[in-house]
């Protein structure tokens, strides 16, 4: 009996051990799509035209429209807190699509982005000076010794072009005035309302400020504007599939053809997207060379 009991005990132990072992194959997994199917996500990073919340309000309808046109991929909007943060992102080749200013366009080309469109009319890309109506400022010489605000030293329409304007009008921007780089277009305008002698921006943010802050805007006025240059670009990273970049470009260029598209453009304070390529921005290269020779370096070394 002892021998029989021992054999029965061994058999039970073997059976229990077999039950405890994990099966060789992986357990079944369930999903809402085919196994291994992952939707590619491409980020569209827009340079800091507005604060992140306002930028989302302006540009998310465009992203939603593009996603309705695209099949099998998804675009996500990405905002940045300021110009340096935005420039760090594209220099690291993080976003797939960019909407940079023309100076940033030249920098992005160096790391493998290419222009597929221009956002807005070239005539709308110009620097404008905002002052208080009660400031007493009449001419550029009245700014000597005063504070002038800008979004960033790398903002082309809202810093570089206005500083060249002042240079041409006899102001040494490095000695005659105090330059305050305040992070965003809206902040540049608000700093004038709060006491700076002048603030620099460009037409779309000024139009939006007048809509969103009518009481403050009523105490301000546009006094000077620079000649126009070329507007912001839309760029794509060089490893994005040709089918995706072609459809995005086509969708942008056709926005004016439908009422919905016109509403999207109006929300961005943009008249239309124009066909453009890398060569279209050669004029910016020439402008920057002249500016850096006569005024200051765009970026401190």
CA pseudo-torsion sign 185, 189, 194, 196: positive
Q: Tell me, yes or no, whether 2 lies in a domain.
A: no
Q: Tell me, yes or no, whether 78 lies in a domain.
A: yes
Kindly state the percentage of the chain with pLDDT values over 90.
82
Q: Tell me, yes or no, whether 70 lies in a domain.
A: yes
Question: Mean pLDDT, to the nearest integer, of 163-181?
Answer: 98
For residues 287 and 211, membership in a common domain is answered with no
Which of these three, 201, 225, 249, is where a domain ends? 225
Structural domain boundaries, residue 238: 41-121+230-294
Least reliable range by pLDDT among 3-12, 19-28, 51-60, 244-253: 19-28
Q: Tell me, yes or no, whether 9 lies in a domain.
A: no
pLDDT at position 52, please?
86
- 16 versus 120: which is more confidently predicted? 120
pLDDT at position 155, please?
95
For residues 243 and 94, membership in a common domain is answered with yes
| pLDDT surpassing 70 at residue 2 | no
Which of these three, 190, 206, 225, is where a domain ends? 225
- Going by pLDDT thresholds of 50, 70 and 90, the confidence category of residue 37 is low
What's the CATH code of the domain at 261? 3.40.190.10
Residue range 76-118, pLDDT digits in tens: 999 998 899 999 999 999 999 999 999 999 999 999 999 999 9
pLDDT at position 15, please?
39
Which of these three, 206, 225, 244, is where a domain ends? 225
Q: Tell me, yes or no, whether 95 lies in a domain.
A: yes
pLDDT at position 133, please?
97
Question: Mean pLDDT, to the nearest integer, of 41-48?
Answer: 95
* CA gyration radius, the chain: 28
- Going by pLDDT thresholds of 50, 70 and 90, the confidence category of residue 297 is very high
| Strand 273-274 to 113-119 pairing | antiparallel
pTM over 0.95, yes/no? no
| pLDDT surpassing 50 at residue 279 | yes
Per the structure block, which two tokens stand in for 193?
């309302």
Q: At what angle do helices 161-168 and 282-294 cross, to 10 degrees?
A: 50
For residues 175 and 214, membership in a common domain is answered with yes
For residues 61 and 209, membership in a common domain is answered with no
For residues 268 and 135, membership in a common domain is answered with no
3-class state of residue 272 by DSSP: coil
**Residue 293: CB atoms within 10 Å:** 9
For residues 113 and 170, membership in a common domain is answered with no
Query: Which segments of the chain are extended strands (E)?
Result: 41-46, 74-78, 97-99, 113-119, 128-132, 147-150, 178-181, 198-201, 220-225, 233-237, 273-274
Residue range 128-158, pLDDT digits in tens: 999 999 999 999 999 999 999 999 999 999 9
For residues 142 and 269, membership in a common domain is answered with no
Residue range 237-272, pLDDT digits in tens: 999 999 999 999 999 999 999 999 999 999 999 999
Residue range 152-162, pLDDT digits in tens: 999 999 999 99
pLDDT at position 49, please?
84
- Number of structural domains the chain divides into: 2
């Amino acid at each position: 009996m002892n021998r029989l009991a021992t054999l029965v005990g061994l058999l039970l132990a073997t059976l229990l051990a077999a039950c405890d072992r994990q099966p060789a194959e992986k357990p079944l997994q369930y999903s809402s799509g085919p196994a291994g199917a992952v939707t590619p996500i491409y980020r569209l990073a827009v340079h800091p035209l507005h604060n992140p919340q306002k930028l989302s309000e302006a540009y998310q309808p465009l992203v939603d429209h593009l996603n309705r046109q695209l099949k099998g991929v998804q675009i996500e909007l990405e905002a940045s807190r300021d110009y340096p943060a935005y420039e760090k992102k594209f220099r690291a080749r993080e976003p797939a699509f960019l909407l940079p200013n023309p100076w940033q366009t030249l920098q992005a080309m160096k790391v493998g982005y290419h222009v597929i469109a221009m956002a807005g009319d070239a005539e709308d890309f110009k620097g404008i000076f905002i002052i208080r109506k009660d400031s007493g400022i009449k001419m550029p010489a009245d700014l000597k010794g005063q504070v002038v605000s800008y979004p960033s030293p790398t903002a082309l329409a809202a810093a570089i072009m206005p500083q060249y304007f002042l240079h041409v009008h006899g102001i040494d921007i490095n000695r005659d005035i105090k330059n305050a780089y305040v992070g965003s277009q809206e902040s540049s305008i608000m700093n004038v309302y709060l006491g700076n002698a002048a603030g620099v921006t460009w037409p779309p943010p000024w139009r939006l400020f007048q809509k969103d802050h009518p009481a403050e805007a009523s105490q301000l006025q546009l006094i000077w504007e620079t000649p126009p240059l070329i507007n912001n670009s839309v760029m794509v990273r060089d490893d994005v599939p040709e089918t995706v970049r072609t459809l995005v470009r086509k969708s942008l260029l056709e926005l004016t053809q439908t009422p919905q598209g016109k509403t999207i453009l109006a929300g961005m304070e943009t008249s239309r997207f124009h066909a453009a390529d890398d060569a279209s921005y050669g004029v910016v290269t020439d402008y920057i060379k002249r500016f850096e020779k006569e005024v200051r370096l765009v970026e401190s070394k």
